[in-house]
Amino acid sequence: MKIKSADFIISNTDVYKCPTERIPEYAFIGRSNVGKSSLINMLMERKDLAKISGTPGKTQLINHFKINDSWFLVDLPGYGYAKVSKKMRAGFQKFIEDYFIQREQLVCTFVLVDSRHDPQKIDLDFMRFLGEKGIPFCIVFTKADKLGSSKLNKQIVSYKKKLLATWETAPMSFLTSSSTGLGRKEFLDFIDGVNADMAEEFK
Identify the residue with better confidence: 151 or 87: 151
Is residue 200 a part of any domain in this protein? no
**144, 173 Cβ separation under 8 angstroms:** no
pTM (2 d.p.): 0.90
90 occurs within a structural domain: yes
pLDDT at position 52 over 60? no
Q: Is residue 201 part of a domain?
A: no
Per-residue confidence (pLDDT) for residue 57, from 0 to 100: 45
Q: Is the model's pLDDT at 58 over the cut of 50? A: no
CB 153 within 8 A of CB 186: no
Residue 171's Cα: distance from chain center in Å? 14
CATH label of the domain that carries residue 87: 3.40.50.300
Mean pLDDT value across the chain? 87
The residue with greater pLDDT, 51 or 171, is: 171
**Could you count the other beta carbons within 10 Å of the beta carbon of residue 18?**
20
Span 83-115, pLDDT tens digits: 545 555 555 577 888 899 999 999 999 999 999
Closest CA to 67 of 6, 143, 135, 139: 6
Cβ pair 144, 176 in contact under 8 A: yes
pLDDT for the residue 157: 92
Q: Can you give the pLDDT at residue 80?
A: 64
State what percent of residues in the chain have pLDDT above 70.
89
Number of domains making up the chain: 1
Across the range 128-133, mean pLDDT stands at 91
Residue 1 lies in a domain: no
**83 vs 194: CA distance, rounded Å:** 36
CB distance 100 to 18 below 8 Å? no
Does 55 reside within a domain?
A: yes
- Is 104 domain-assigned? yes
> What domain range is 76 assigned to?
6-195
Q: Is residue 30 part of a domain?
A: yes
Question: 92 in a domain, yes or no?
Answer: yes
